[in-house]
Every structure is written in structure tokens, then in C-alpha cells.
Amino acid sequence: MENAPFFTNDAIVFGILMISLGFVFYTSARKEGFWKKFYSVVPALLMCYLIPSIFNSLGIIEDETSQLYFVASRYLLPASLVLMTLSIDLKAIFSLGPKALIMFFTGTIGIIIGGPLAILIISAVSPETVGGVGPDAIWRGLSTLAGSWIGGGANQAAMLEIYEYNPNLYGGMVLVDIVVANLWMAILLFGIGRNERIDKWLNADDSAITSLKNRVASYAASVTRNPTLDDLIIMLALAFGAVGIAHWGADWISAFLSANFEVFTDKKSALSSFSSSFFWMISIATAIGIVLSFTKFKTYEGAGASKIGSVFIYILVATIGMKMDLTMVFDNPGLIAIGLVWMSIHAGLLILIAKLIKAPFFFLAVGSQANVGGAASAPIVAAAFHPSLATVGVLLAVFGYVIGTYGAILTTILMQLAAAG
């Protein structure tokens, strides 16, 4: 294999990722000296994300030769959602008010208008970058980005089918997706470390979020106990039993819809994302966690359920970080420039609306990632504020899958008009 990474054995790669996480947690726990100053500037969560990306950029490890992201996203992510949702206060989640939805739709609108505006801006500087005719037209390729950044992988695939972009050029669009989306996620993770300062600048009222966190913390304190081996085994049984049910249900629903309804198998259909087993897996796992929160299993939060869930989330963060190759930024500067301008418009609109409605940074970050990152990264960003908030990220991300293809089609129509102009 050309340019093969130094380590291809997943056992070794996983060991490197775990050592990286251990290093970050060990150094971030230092209460004095260099590391205290370092982590006052760079959030620990961002380092959990960046260190694997540095290893990937140096050719030590590589996502393409590893199955770790697949394992983390298909097994550990749904397990973490169950464990983090055990202590959920659904009434308090709904009491967060409409700002979460407002910021989510603002993020969607930012993607819809950002695409055509990016084409207009870049065309003024470099017309050839946004050119192309027939299947090679850049706007056709950018339609797949719109699908990914509003919904997810299924929506991205749908746009590739609908607008028939040249498959030989599609890799360039995947490159933009990986580089720009990951850089934006890194910026959001950096912002989480300055959450209070940003909220102050936004004049945000985060009382509902604080109240929810306090209620969860108070409940956890009231049932807290030193976990026994029985507790740990039962929590893992709940988590991975739910993962099994979620996979079984997702496979069955996906197969049933595909076998009985042509609209779900047609990749050009706006409803094709409903045939995605990943979509159903995340939805079912979250639903199981919510159901368990109404039972006596809720008390396992006191034995550390959300802490175990957080361990799984951090492993997922490391595997996502491994997908980013920092050197790829220079591979196709024209396309990357379009993506950066596009994402800047998305971010700028989010900041403007957050300022106007005094929305906390939490809603800005999660609303953005529910669009751009989907169900894999929205819970990560939400849980960084507090494990109990992971469900908010999932619910918004699932909503993104639903509207992803519709929003991407609208974006593409506007991009086609912008390219023609």
C-alpha cells in the first residue's frame, strides 16, 4: 500500500489512542506549573482530538486502515448514549425552551445560504475554481457537502445520486468535508473551554441549562455510592444489551423499509436517509436510554453510569481526531477555500442570531454540530458541557437527518444559480 502508516494493527493503534487520552487526562489534572497554564488556554477535550490528528498527519496511524472509528461509532457511541441518558430529566430537557431549535435551524440556514455565497465570493477571486460543466460542475460536487453538513452520510450519498457528480472527482469533496468540518469542530471544542466568557459576551441567559445540570448533579449526589462489581457488570449489560437491541432493530427496520417501500431505496429520494441503519441505531439507543430513565435503573447514575459513558465518548473523540490529516489542508486549496468561506458564513450567522436572542454558546455549538457533524459528534459537543446534555445533541442531529436532503436540494438549486451567474 502506497504511503501506508507506520502502524496498521488496530490493537497498537488503540493503544496509542488510549495513551494519548491518558496523557491528556494526567497532565490536565496537574494543579500547578506549565500544564495548568497550558490547559487554561487549550481545553483538554481539544487535545484529545488534536493529538490523534497529529499522529495521523505524521503517518504514524491512519483512519483508512483502521476499524476503530467504526467500532467506536457503532458500539461505544450508542452505549454511551444509553448510560448518559439514564439520569435524564426529560421535563427539564423540554424546559430548555425554543432556543435550541432556533439555533439548529439557524445552522441549517447558514449552510443553505453559505454555499451559494461561497461560490459568488470565490468566483470573484478565482472563477476557474467554481467552474466545470456537465458532471464535472463544481456545484454538483458541493451538493454532496450540503447533504453531509445539514444531515449526514446518507443525505450526502443521496445528493451524489441526484446530481450525478463525476465519481472520479468526488474524493476532492470528501477531502473538503473532512478538513473543514473537523477544523470547525476543533474551534467549537476550543470555545467550550471559554464557555463562560463567550456567554458573557453574548449576554446569554443559561439559567435553564444550569438548572438542568444542577438537578442532575443533585440527583446523582443523592444516589451516589461506591460502585461494586455487580453495579459495573449491570451497567455494561444495560449499555451493550441496548446496543444489541438497537442494532437488531435498526437492521430490521432498515431492511423492512427497503424491501417494502421503493421511496426508501431510491437514493435520489429525500426519504432515503430513513433506510440508514445508523440513523435507526442512534434513535433506538437514545429511546432505550430515555425509557430506562423512568425505571429504578436510573439510580445507576449514582454508581457512575455517565462516567462510563464519558469514557466511551472520549474514545470516540480520539477516533474522530484520527480522521483529520492536517497536511490535507494544502492538497486542494481552491476547494478548501470554498469550504472555509462556506463554514465561516454558517458560523457568522450562528453568532449573529445567538447575540440577538441571547442564546448560550451551548445552543450555538450543539445546533451547529447537529447539522455539520451529525449524530456522531453532536453528543460529544453537548456532553462536553455536561453528560446529561448529550441527549439534546442526539435529538437535534436526528432531526438533521430528516431534513438533510430537502435542505441540500434547496442549497444546490441556489448554488447552481450562483455558478451560472
CA distance 184 to 207: 27
Residue 268: pLDDT band with limits 50, 70, 90: low
DSSP 120-155: HHHHHH-GGGG---GGG-HHHHHHHHHHHHHT-HHH
Q: What is the pLDDT of residues 317-371, one digit of tens each?
A: 899 888 877 777 676 788 889 999 999 999 999 999 999 999 999 999 999 999 9
Look up residue 61 and give its three cell numbers.
Answer: 496511524
Residues 391 and 252 sit within 8 Å (Cβ to Cβ): no
Q: Is the dihedral of CA 158, 410, 354, 50 positive or negative?
A: positive
**Start-end of H helices in 267-389:** 277-292, 305-321, 333-357, 361-372, 378-385
CB 227: neighbour CB atoms within 10 A?
17
pLDDT, tens only, 162-187: 888 888 778 788 888 888 888 898 89
Q: In the 8-state DSSP scheme, what is residue 304?
A: T
pLDDT band at 269 (very low <50, low <70, confident <90, very high): low
Please tell me the number of Cα atoms within 13 Å of 38 on its side-chain side: 14
Cell 473537523 sits on residue: 182
Distance CA 19, CA 319 (A): 13
Cα distance between the two ends of the chain: 44
Give pLDDT tens digits for 117-140: 999 999 888 888 777 778 888 888
Q: How does pLDDT run across 67-84, given as a tens digit for each residue?
A: 999 999 899 989 998 998
For residue 59, the Cα-to-chain-centroid distance in whole angstroms is 24
Cα distance between residue 236 and residue 227, in whole Å: 12
pLDDT tens per residue across span 25-35 = 999 988 788 99
Rounded-to-integer distance, Cα 278 and Cα 256, Å: 15
Give every CB contact of residue 152 below 8 A, 6+ residues apart in sequence: 273, 276, 278, 279, 374, 375, 397, 400, 401, 404
The pTM score is 0.81
Whether 371 contacts 111, CB under 8 Å: yes
pLDDT class of 241 with cuts at 50, 70, 90: very high
Residues with Cβ < 8 Å from 410, sequence gap 6 or more?
112
Residues with Cβ within 8 Å of 387's Cβ and at least 6 positions away in sequence, in order, are: 84, 306, 307, 309, 310
- The residue behind cell 456567554 is 199
- Residues 416 and 335: their CA atoms lie apart, in Å, by 16
